Amino acid sequence: MKRPKRILFLLLTATALPAAACAWGGLFHRAVAEAAQRNLSPKAIAEIERYTQGTPLAAYATFMDEVVADPRYKEPFAGWHASIADSTCKSPVEVRQRYRNSRDGVTAAEWITEELKNYRSLDDSVVLTYIKCLVHIIPDFHCPAHVRYTDAHNEGKFDVTFFGRKILLHSIWDHHLLTRLRPGWDDMRWADYLCETPRKEIRAAKRGSYREWFEDTARDVRISIDWVRPGDALGDEFMEKAASLADKELRKAAARLTKTLERIFGK
Ligand SMILES: [Zn+2]
C-alpha cells in the first residue's frame, strides 16, 4: 500500500472540514479516545505527547471522518472505516484482498502499526497523522454497522421507525441506540463509564491481533443482521438487545485502543 508524502501533507493541513456520518458518532469516538488515553502507561503518554504536544486524543477522534468528506482527502483513507469477514467470521488477508482490495480497517491498522515500528525515525507530523488514524480506525472496526461479511452485510442503509421516528438504521447503530440508553451523557461521562469496565473484561478484550479483535466483533455482530428488515417499527425489544451489543463493542474498542497505543509507544 503506497501512501505518497503529498497525501500525508494534504492530510496534515486539512482543518475545519465538514464531518461525515461514519461509524460511531463523534460523541462515542471522543469517549473511546478519552477512555483509552486515561488508561495509558506514563511511558506511552510521554511518547505520544512528543507528537500531540498535549492535545487530548479525543480531539483527533473524528479526524478521519472530517477529511473523508473532502474529495482531496477521500482516496487515501478509502475503505478504512469498515472491515470484512467471511461467512464464518474470519478475516484472512485473502478475503480482505478479494472483497475490498485490501481497503479495510484491519489492513490499515496493520499497515500503520508496521510503519510506526520505527516511529522515532519518521517525521513528527507523519507520526501524528498515524496516531490520528489509529485513534479512529480501532473503534470503527467495533461498530456493528461497519462490520461487513462476504455473504451479507449489516450496513443498515435503509429507513426504519425507531420509537416512532423514521430514521436510517445505520445511524441508529452509530448514535441513537446508546444516546437513548443513557440520555444526556457527554463524552466525558461516557469515558468515565468505559473506564469502569471490569479489569477481567479489559484483559480478555486486549488479547489478540487486530484481525482477531475484528473477528471477535464479527462473531458478536453477525446475529444482528437478522434483527431488522427495511421499514420495521423498532422499539423496546430491539433496543434491549441492540444497545447491549453496541455497548459491549464500545467497551472492547476502548480497551483495544489502549492496547494498540501501548504496543507501539509503551515499550
Ligand atoms: Zn469512521
- CATH code for position 147: 1.10.575.10
Name residue 165's beta-bridge partners.
Answer: 162
CA of 107 to the centre of ligand 1 (A): 15
In which residue are the cell numbers 464531518 written? 19
Judge whether 138 lies within some domain: yes
Q: What is the pTM of this model?
A: 0.90
Q: What confidence tier does 72 reach under pLDDT thresholds 50, 70, 90?
A: low
What is the number of helices (H) and of strands (E) in the chain? 14, 5
- Say how many CA atoms lie within 13 Å of 136 toward its Cβ: 27
Judge whether 19 lies within some domain: yes
Query: pLDDT tens, 124-156?
Result: 999 999 999 999 999 998 999 999 999 987 788
CA of 166 to the centre of ligand 1 (A): 23
Domain count within the chain: 1
3-state helix, strand, coil in the chain (%, to 5): 65, 5, 30
DSSP of 159-185, one letter per residue?
EEEETTEEEEHHHIIIIIHHHHHSTT-
Element (H, E) at 38: helix 26-38
Q: Which domain holds residue 14?
A: 7-152+252-265
Nearest to 60 by CA among 80, 36, 42, 79: 36
Mean pLDDT across the chain = 90
Judge whether 174 lies within some domain: no
Judge whether 175 lies within some domain: no
Judge whether 207 lies within some domain: no
Judge whether 176 lies within some domain: no
Query: pLDDT tens, 215-231?
Result: 999 999 999 999 999 99
CA of 214 to the centre of ligand 1 (A): 15
CA of 201 to the centre of ligand 1 (A): 25
CA of 62 to the centre of ligand 1 (A): 7
CA of 63 to the centre of ligand 1 (A): 9
